[in-house]
A and B are shown apart, each in its own frame.
Chain A
Amino acid sequence: MPDSTHHTVPYRTYALILVLLLVLTGISVAVTQIELTKWSTLVALLLAGIKTSLVMAIFMHLKFDQRIFRVMAILIILLLGVVMVVTFLDYLFR
């Protein structure tokens, strides 16, 4: 298979993403101090989602790869999202 999408990411970008991930982790911990009631899970998931997207896009090269891989990754995340929504049909309506 011809590898036409090879892309070198500079170390500076990796370092920047690392710092961003650490900051987001700090926010995830800090946000637990605020009483968000039933929204706390959503906020935690959103922050985790942003961190995951960064890892997948940059560290796992999804940003530079063929579009089909991006589409498949998004579909899988959507599937996981729907599974979570269905789960919360229980938790939010108890």
Chain B
Amino acid sequence: MTASPEKKSYKSFLEEDGGRKGIFKWILSTDHKRIGLLYLYSMMAWFIIGVTLGLLMKLELIAPGETLMGPQSYNATFTVHGVIMIFLIVIPGLPAVFGNFMLPIQIGARDVAFPRLNLLSWYIYVLGSILVIASLFGNGAPDTGWTFYAPYSFRTGTNMLPAALGAFVLGFSSILTGLNFIVTIHRMRAPGMTWLKMPLFPWTLYGTAWIQLLATPIVGITLLMVAGERILNIGFFDPAKGGDPILYQHLFWIYSHPAVYIMILPAMGAVSEIIPTFARKTIFGYRAIVISTLAIAFVGYFVWGHHMFTAGMSGTALFAFSILTFLVAIPSAVKVFNWIATMHKGSIFTEVPFQWAASFIFVFMVGGLTGLVLGALATNVHVHDTHFVVAHFHFIVFGGTGFAFFGALHYWFPKIFGRMYDRSWAQTGWIFFFLGFLTLYGPMFYLGIKGMPRRYFDYLEEFHGGNIISSLGALVMVTGFVIILINLVKSARHGEKAPANPWGGTNLEWRIPSPPPVENFEEIPVIDKATYKFD
């Protein structure tokens, strides 16, 4: 059926260079696996910058008053931190790296539907990234926050345009990836792989791809409208010219809230892969997870207004958005119950990927439940734009997507590189990271409820204690990140050789050798049984 997993007489994608040398065998390759790794390496580079900026902010907040930087530098730091983390890392995150690498393999295909378009999306990603980074130089880094809210975004004298243009360009990369995945999933599934035999990670990529395709153009045109405001003084969002600044917020969040689901759905997909493997048990409620994936993708389009509860919307809109926000919690909770039910009475063995997945469930639940606090109108008014919100979205975006990303990385690492990482160091890294994460963001809930606003470089003395704990947590978490990074980088080259199926997984990726052959399968497999069936 497939290449014998342990057979050595094959050429892995890492050995196949297409007759090119050096960097060209990477940047000219249309192999989905190499493109996935191109994304991984680019994102890791930006992530290091984003983490450094985040750490600088936490060090600034370690004591009241000016510690490391003044207000303008602080504003620029949180803006660029946000733009890098959101647009360059968590939005492309799992789809671009693991989606590219694993999607064709998991559905039994040799590549994505449009390999050249796939490479083009990486080039567009790099172009967008360069524009974002370019905004750091020149007239001063942008200071609007990653949301580019009008009217400040068209009035500030800082380098707003390159950052917004960068986000605009990155949108095209996202759209092309989404388009590619939709066509790949529709047209290239192996014979016998009906929709309901498809693994859950491709399912979540499918839901995500539709959001990428349909929501991203809205933010594209919105950012162009801001550029129009800055350059041509049109007046879309300028009250002095009859425009409406809240219209900007509507347009921005019509994309940017579904974007949260672009970030979190594939994370949920990765966790749905990891948990059955390490519980040695078929996933509980496969259909319920599929339906909840599509429900999240669909309902997620209509909840954007909960970012704007204090902006001055009509009472009717406030009421509608609050109800819709509570609705989207239902499919999310369905998934959590399914993961827990999968573990129930399973034969769990706690390897590092499982630890990441289990901690994902914990932090995602904290993030999700505090999201309900924010979805309720009365409590939202109390904690709006405070550190409570910062803690909430870091629990979801970093705790959720980030933990799932690291979980997926540790899960698929032996498959991708054909080598195993040092498990004890990986576990040490996870412990530091997890404890550091909770210490960093946990106190922010308290600080927010007590009234500490976000996006200020300074604070009242009464907030000092919580901020010290939080800043120390940041240092612990960064230590964990450094351990993880060194361990993985070193192991990719020098780790012990990994078998084809080190975790005993059931999906197609575990039935081919590690690292995968150039075109994945000698013969396209025929699927005759449901996925996640353990013998």
Instruction: Determine if A42 is an interface residue (Cβ-Cβ < 8 Å).
Output: no
Residues of A contacting B317 with CB < 8 Å?
A: 86, 89-90, 93
Instruction: Determine if A76 is an interface residue (Cβ-Cβ < 8 Å).
Output: yes
Q: Which among B24-32, B230-238, B308-316, B379-387 touches the partner chain?
A: B308-316
* Binary B-proximity of A51-90 (CB < 8 A = 1, otherwise 0): 0000000000000000000000000100100110011011
Contact of A90 with B301 in the complex, beta carbons under 8 Å: no
Residues of B contacting A93 with CB < 8 Å?
A: 314-317
How many residues on A have C-beta within 8 angstroms of the other chain's C-beta atoms? 12
Residue of A nearest to B313 (CB): A90
Partner of B214, one of A79, A87, A89, A92: A79
Contact of A90 with B302 in the complex, beta carbons under 8 Å: no
Contact of B302 with A86 in the complex, beta carbons under 8 Å: yes
A86-B320, A90-B250 given as contacts; is B301 within 8 A of A79 (CB)?
yes
Partner of B316, one of A76, A82, A89: A89
CB proximity to A under 8 Å, residues B237-271? 246, 250, 254
Instruction: Determine if A38 is an interface residue (Cβ-Cβ < 8 Å).
Output: no
Residues of B contacting A89 with CB < 8 Å?
A: 314, 316-317, 320
> Chain B: interface residue count, which band?
10 to 19
Instruction: Determine if B99 is an interface residue (Cβ-Cβ < 8 Å).
Output: no
Instruction: Determine if A6 is an interface residue (Cβ-Cβ < 8 Å).
Output: no
Residue of B nearest to A86 (CB): B302
Instruction: Determine if A94 is an interface residue (Cβ-Cβ < 8 Å).
Output: yes
CB proximity to A under 8 Å, residues B425-439? none
Residue of B nearest to A91 (CB): B314
Residue of A nearest to B312 (CB): A94
B405 to chain A, nearest CB (A): 29
A87 CA to B314 CA in the complex, in Å? 10
Residues of B contacting A87 with CB < 8 Å?
A: 250, 254
A55 to chain B, nearest CB (A): 16
Residue of A nearest to B318 (CB): A90
Contact of A76 with B214 in the complex, beta carbons under 8 Å: yes
Residues of B contacting A76 with CB < 8 Å?
A: 214
Instruction: Determine if B305 is an interface residue (Cβ-Cβ < 8 Å).
Output: yes
Residues of A contacting B214 with CB < 8 Å?
A: 76, 79
Residues of A contacting B301 with CB < 8 Å?
A: 79, 82-83
Residues of A contacting B316 with CB < 8 Å?
A: 89-90, 93
A93 CA to B246 CA in the complex, in Å? 14
A79 CA to B394 CA in the complex, in Å? 29
Residues of A contacting B254 with CB < 8 Å?
A: 83, 87
Residues of A contacting B250 with CB < 8 Å?
A: 87, 90
CB proximity to B under 8 Å, residues A7-50? none
* Binary A-proximity of B295-339 (CB < 8 A = 1, otherwise 0): 000000110010000000111110011000000000000000000
Residues of B contacting A92 with CB < 8 Å?
A: 314
A83-B254, A86-B320 given as contacts; is B314 within 8 A of A94 (CB)?
yes
- Name the residue among B214, B250, B317, B320 with the largest chain A CB count within 10 angstroms: B317
A87 CA to B316 CA in the complex, in Å? 11
Residue of A nearest to B250 (CB): A87
Residue of B nearest to A87 (CB): B250
A11 to chain B, nearest CB (A): 30
A22 to chain B, nearest CB (A): 24
A48 to chain B, nearest CB (A): 14
A87 CA to B248 CA in the complex, in Å? 12
A82 CA to B303 CA in the complex, in Å? 12
Residue of B nearest to A80 (CB): B214
A89 CA to B314 CA in the complex, in Å? 7
A90 CA to B320 CA in the complex, in Å? 10
A71 CA to B315 CA in the complex, in Å? 35
B131 to chain A, nearest CB (A): 28
Residues of A contacting B246 with CB < 8 Å?
A: 90
B309 to chain A, nearest CB (A): 11
B170 to chain A, nearest CB (A): 22
A89 CA to B227 CA in the complex, in Å? 27
A71 to chain B, nearest CB (A): 14
A79 CA to B300 CA in the complex, in Å? 12
B211 to chain A, nearest CB (A): 11
Residues of A contacting B305 with CB < 8 Å?
A: 86, 90
B78 to chain A, nearest CB (A): 28
- Name the residue among A76, A86, A87, A93 with the largest chain B CB count within 10 angstroms: A86
Residue of A nearest to B246 (CB): A90
A79 CA to B302 CA in the complex, in Å? 10
Residue of A nearest to B254 (CB): A83
A78 to chain B, nearest CB (A): 11
Residue of B nearest to A94 (CB): B314
B394 to chain A, nearest CB (A): 27
A44 to chain B, nearest CB (A): 14
A52 to chain B, nearest CB (A): 14
A76 CA to B301 CA in the complex, in Å? 12
Residue of A nearest to B303 (CB): A86
Residues of B contacting A86 with CB < 8 Å?
A: 302, 305, 317, 320-321
13 additional A-B pairs beyond A86-B320, A90-B305, beta carbons within 8 Å, are A79-B214, A82-B301, A83-B301, A86-B305, A90-B250, A90-B314, A90-B317, A91-B314, A92-B314, A93-B314, A93-B316, A93-B317, A94-B314
Nearest 7 CB-CB pairings of A with B: A93-B314, A90-B317, A93-B316, A89-B317, A94-B314, A90-B313, A90-B314
Q: List 27 A-B contacts (CB under 8 A).
A: A76-B214, A79-B214, A79-B301, A82-B301, A82-B302, A83-B254, A83-B301, A83-B302, A86-B302, A86-B305, A86-B317, A86-B320, A86-B321, A87-B250, A87-B254, A89-B314, A89-B316, A90-B246, A90-B250, A90-B314, A90-B316, A91-B314, A93-B315, A93-B316, A93-B317, A94-B313, A94-B314
Residues of A whose CB lies within 8 Å of any CB of B are 76, 79, 82-83, 86-87, 89-94
